[in-house]
């Protein structure tokens, strides 16, 4: 697929019109994915459910505890974060461990635009037009051994620039993990930007994971290390509160958080008078990813 350069990115005003955006880029490119039903259901209800969240809301309403625990903290406290130069180290159960630079990744891998729903474990959601490349492209560079079953992600540790890391709310650096087949799935994105712009610091610059069928905390930000491992890694949130944050963390309206229901969600940007929206299993991506969990008890493996 042809790379999409900044000069070709659709302006934000056109992003907000779904039909104009699809017409400009061409549906046949396959670069826009919300769910398989998104393009098939042309009703006003589907249009409203997948209305893009504004750039302002996406960049000022964030959970990124490295910069503070309030939603506005990341946009305020990340201004001096240095995202260049950058590289990712890939190691573990691989034949060819490597360190690859950001510049190499964006040059060598097809950059796509993908509109994904984001569902936070706290019960709110967004629709975000990401830019990035499939994580599988990166992982294929290291010749993964048959012994590798899981992928561990580690975020950068810079307490001088990330004031939240001076607290003990989580163990630092932030760590997350996926099963190998989840990491290799075509929906799993290594994001480099959003709304046709470079990824802002408060959203995980310069490289963050996006796994749209899982709760947002699974998508590690500012990644510096990827490790292929034999056993399931223990993520930062699992280590902190294992009874509340399981390894899989697939969006599931039938599995409540111990302190609140996951049956509904609040879309950021909606009117305060708008009703909460029903939450969809796998965040609406069930047709694409449910086969990954065939035969699994999704309440046990939460």
| Residue 295, pLDDT above cutoff 50 | yes
pLDDT, the chain, mean: 89
pLDDT tens profile 164-185 = 999 999 999 999 999 999 999 9
In tens, the pLDDT along 94-152 reads 999 999 999 999 999 999 999 999 999 999 999 999 999 999 999 999 999 999 999 99
pLDDT higher than 60, residue 238: yes
- 2 pLDDT tier (thresholds 50, 70, 90): very low
- Of 237, 179, 261, the C-alpha closest to 213 is 179
pLDDT above 90 for 1: no
Label residue 34 by pLDDT band (50, 70, 90). Answer: low
Per-residue pLDDT, 50: 81
pTM of the model as a whole = 0.88
* Residue pLDDT, tens place only, 210-225: 999 999 999 999 999 9
The whole-number pLDDT of residue 16 equals 56
Confidence band (pLDDT; 50, 70, 90) for 46? low
Report, in angstroms and rounded to the nearest whole number, the Rg of the chain calculated over CA atoms. 18
What is the predicted pLDDT for the residue at 48?
Answer: 62
- Residue of 34, 30, 28, 32 lying closest to 285 (CA atoms): 34
- What does the pLDDT read at residue 279? 98
Predicted pLDDT of residue 12: 59
């Amino acid at each position: 697929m042809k790379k999409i350069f900044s000069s070709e990115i659709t302006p934000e005003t056109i992003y907000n019109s779904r039909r104009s955006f699809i017409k400009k880029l061409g549906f046949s490119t396959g670069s826009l994915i919300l769910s398989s039903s998104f393009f098939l259901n042309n009703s006003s209800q589907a249009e409203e459910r997948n209305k893009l969240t504004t750039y302002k809301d996406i960049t000022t309403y964030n959970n990124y505890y490295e910069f503070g625990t309030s939603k506005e903290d990341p946009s305020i406290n990340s201004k001096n974060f240095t995202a260049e130069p950058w590289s990712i180290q890939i190691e573990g159960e691989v034949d060819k461990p490597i360190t690859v630079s950001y510049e190499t990744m964006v040059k060598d891998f097809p950059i796509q635009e993908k509109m994904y729903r984001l569902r936070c474990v706290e019960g709110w959601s967004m629709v975000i037009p990401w830019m990035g490349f499939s994580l599988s492209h990166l992982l294929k560079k290291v010749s993964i051994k048959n012994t590798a079953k899981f992928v561990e992600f580690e975020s950068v540790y810079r307490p001088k620039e990330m004031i939240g890391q001076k607290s003990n709310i989580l163990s630092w650096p932030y760590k997350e993990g996926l099963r190998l087949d989840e990491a290799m799935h075509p929906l799993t994105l290594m994001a480099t930007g959003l709304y046709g712009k470079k990824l802002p610091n408060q959203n995980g610059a310069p490289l963050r994971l996006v796994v749209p069928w899982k709760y947002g905390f699974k998508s590690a930000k500012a990644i510096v290390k990827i490790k292929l491992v034999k056993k399931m890694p223990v993520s930062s949130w699992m280590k902190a509160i294992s009874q509340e944050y399981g390894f899989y963390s697939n969006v599931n309206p039938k599995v409540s958080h111990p302190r609140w229901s996951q049956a509904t969600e609040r879309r950021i940007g909606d009117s305060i008078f708008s009703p909460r929206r029903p939450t969809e299993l796998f965040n609406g991506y069930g047709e694409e990813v449910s086969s990954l969990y065939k035969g699994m008890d999704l309440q046990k493996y939460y």
